[in-house]
Amino acid sequence: MKFGILVNEGPYNHQAADTAYQFAKAALEKGHEIHRVFFYHDGVNNATKLTEPPQDDRHIVNRWSKMAEEHGVDLVVCVAAGLRRGIVDDNLAPGFRISGLGQLVETGIQADRTVTFGD
């Protein structure tokens, strides 16, 4: 099955970013496809390459980047939400791309299920 995932909160502050990742990981391991992960609202903060969590903690940004690299998952940051919050090409982590909100609607159309994670 083809999943779309919407992430509405930033890393560390809300568990939404963690749950979305664990869900996506489980879906891939079960052989499903992730059509796209779309980052909206504070969710765009998942995409900053400047993040340096404590060494004994998970690295939420790098986890997404690795998932993009290993599974070709399309990680899309909303351009408008990103501009409001200072997520732009300059600080974008590998594997993420910036695009418009149309990409979210398009995922809703293309994916068999679109699951939202937020606050």
Partner 1 sequence: MLHIVNKSPSERNTLDSCLRMAKKGSTILLIEDGVYGATKGGVAENKLKAAMADVKVYALWPDLEARGMQDSVIDGIEQVDYNGFVDLVVADKNVQSWL
Partner 2 sequence: MTESTGGIDMDEDSSGTVKKFAFVNRKAPYGTIYALESLEVVLISAAFDQDVSLVFADDGVYELKKGQATKAVGMKNFSPTYRALEGYDIEKLFVEKESMEARGLTVDDLVVPVEVLTSEEMATLLDEQDVVLSF
Residues that are catalytic: 78
Q: Give the shortest CB-118-to-partner 2 separation in angstroms.
A: 7
Distance CA 79, CA 66 (A): 22
Q: CA end-to-end span of the chain, whole Å?
A: 26
Give every CB contact of residue 41 below 8 A, 6+ residues apart in sequence: 8, 9, 81, 118
67 binds, among partner 1, partner 2, a copy of itself, none (CB under 5 to 8 A by kind): none
Least distance from partner 1 to the Cβ atom of residue 99, Å? 22
Residues within the interface to a copy of itself (CB under 8 A): 10-13, 41-42, 45, 48-54, 57, 61, 80, 83-88, 90-91
